[in-house]
């Protein structure tokens, strides 16, 4: 208890700095300046029984989409309250679910803030996606008899080591969890080492493998590919979710690729919207001809797709012609990354040439696309190893290795004739198909804890 009190005092002291950080971030991303009251628990009260699902940002939100939809079908008389921490995650929730869910920002982990939120929302159960653990929130739920489930849980060696350094705070928090649905056996063992009772832990797999690619999504991808190629059969290389310090490495590799394959199109999608302008300038400064997806859409007076295309909802692809001279298409819209994967020949997954830990390698694999990554993949260790073992993925240690791998996989006048590219894509697809089922196992755990 003393540890949590000390943590709370420090959090209160840091609150002015947190507000200052929001203000500073709002300079580049204005959405951070909005809806502050929600972060302090001032939310609209609910009336019906509530299942609370919390996801931090875009990645966790998209992973939670199939789960939320399944819960809506299974518990039609309950409200699904979905919280996020970031504006991009909030935008995804709103665009995917509209008013079919109750949505707001998650409360800061301060006792009075959490209590205010719980009094107004009154959840029957809390489902936390992946690794977002807050001591005061979990303790307040436990005191009120609200089961807390850690879903699709992952715990890297680095994170586990950090929790062990703060055992005085982490262990009591872990012990108050009602259930943990771990992605892998290694994750479950790390939770066990932090004091979680064995009977509370189940290895359910990664629900991201349960991604459904509908006929509508496939049609979107085919149409987008047709627009990008404009009848020229040019190879398409997608660099997805890149970070600061990584864009220039990808661009350097792309320049090397184009010396041998000048017809290749790079579709570059930075991870954070506030970086779009800077990355566009960077591309131009290196001599590339850049087209921005958002500007092309605006020029065609069609912006519906910018907020509608998701992994579970499909809308028609706008007829947007790509200028013939384009070297790089900057993906500066939200919600289109999954369909971009389907429209490409090769996918590099960012956050991996810098020490971020990598992003979702499962989405391109589900499309049957060969996957490239840098060496930093600790966020997706198990999925990465499965893809590497099957031959569906390559790790590129540096820029030169990335350029060499991309050149080899994109060579030939028609990528469909590249046997290595096709073999890697089929191997990646086989991995995703053989690892489905986590969503059903997770639903069974939730059903055992949702009050009847």
Residues annotated as part of the active site: 60
Cα pseudo-dihedral 388, 391, 396, 402, rounded to 10: -150
452 burial (CB, 10 Å; 0-12 / 13-18 / 19+) is exposed
Cβ–Cβ contacts within 10 Å for residue 418, how many? 21
Tokens of residue 20, six digits: 């200052």
Instruction: Measure the CA–CA gap between 33 and 215, rounded to whole angstroms.
Output: 39
Q: What is the largest CA-CA distance in the chain?
A: 67
Write out the H or E segment, with its range, that includes residue 169: helix 167-175
Collect all residues with Cβ–Cβ distance below 8 Å to 313 and sequence separation of at least 6.
96
How far out from the chain centre does Cα 383 lie? 14
| Closest listed residue to residue 142, CA positions, set 172, 112, 171 | 172
Helix (H) or strand (E) segment spanning residue 449: helix 438-449
Angle at the Cα of 422 (from 269 to 339), degrees rounded to 5? 30
414: closest CA among 253, 257, 236?
Answer: 236
The token pair that represents 445 in the structure block: 């755990």
Question: Which residue from 63, 172, 39 is spatially nearest to 117, judged by alpha carbons?
Answer: 39
3-state secondary structure of 178: coil
> Which of 328, 368, 323, 324 minimizes the C-alpha distance to 347?
368
In eight-state DSSP terms, residue 374 is -
Tokens 């989409």: give the residue: 65
Helix, strand or coil, per DSSP, at residue 79: strand
Strand 201-203 versus strand 102-105 pairing type? unpaired
């Amino acid at each position: 208890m003393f540890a949590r009190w000390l943590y709370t005092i420090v959090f209160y002291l840091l609150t002015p700095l947190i507000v200052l950080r929001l203000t500073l971030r709002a300079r580049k991303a204005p959405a951070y300046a909005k809806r502050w009251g929600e972060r302090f628990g001032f939310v609209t009260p609910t009336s019906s029984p509530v299942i609370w699902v919390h996801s931090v940002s875009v990645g966790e939100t998209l992973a939670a989409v199939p789960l939320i939809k399944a819960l809506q079908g299974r518990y039609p008389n309950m409200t699904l309250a979905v919280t996020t921490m970031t504006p991009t995650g909030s935008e995804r929730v709103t665009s995917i679910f509209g008013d079919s869910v109750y949505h707001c920002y998650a409360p800061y982990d301060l006792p009075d803030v959490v209590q205010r939120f719980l009094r107004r929302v009154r959840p029957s159960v809390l489902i936390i996606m992946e690794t977002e653990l807050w001591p005061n929130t979990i303790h307040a739920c436990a005191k009120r008899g609200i089961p807390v489930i850690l879903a699709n849980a992952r715990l890297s060696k680095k994170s586990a080591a950090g929790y062990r350094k703060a055992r005085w705070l982490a262990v009591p928090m872990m012990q108050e969890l009602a259930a943990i649905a771990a992605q892998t056996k290694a994750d479950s063992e790390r939770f066990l080492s932090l004091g979680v009772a064995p009977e509370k832990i189940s290895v359910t797999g990664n629900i991201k493998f349960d991604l459904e690619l509908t006929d509508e999504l496939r049609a979107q991808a085919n149409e987008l590919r047709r627009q990008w190629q404009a009848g020229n059969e040019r190879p398409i290389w997608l660099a997805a979710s890149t970070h600061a310090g990584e864009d220039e490495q990808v661009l350097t590799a792309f320049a090397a690729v184009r010396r041998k394959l000048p017809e290749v199109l790079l579709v570059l999608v930075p991870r954070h919207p506030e970086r779009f302008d800077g990355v566009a300038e960077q591309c131009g400064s290196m001599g590339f001809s850049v087209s921005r997806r958002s500007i092309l859409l605006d020029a065609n007076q069609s912006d519906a797709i910018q907020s509608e295309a998701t992994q579970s909802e499909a809308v028609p692809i706008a007829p947007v012609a790509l200028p013939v001279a384009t070297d790089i298409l900057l993906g500066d819209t939200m919600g289109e990354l999954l369909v971009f994967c389907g429209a490409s020949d090769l996918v590099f997954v960012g956050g991996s040439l810098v020490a971020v830990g990598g992003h979702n390698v499962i989405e391109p694999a589900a499309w049957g696309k060969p996957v490239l990554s840098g060496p930093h993949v600790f966020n997706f260790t198990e999925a990465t190893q499965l893809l590497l073992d099957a031959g569906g993925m390559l790790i590129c240690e540096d820029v030169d290795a990335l350029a060499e791998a991309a050149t080899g996989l994109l060579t030939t006048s028609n990528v469909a004739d590249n046997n290595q590219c096709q073999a890697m894509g089929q191997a990646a697809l086989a991995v995703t198909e053989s690892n489905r089922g986590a969503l059903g196992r997770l639903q069974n755990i939730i059903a055992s804890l949702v009050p009847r």
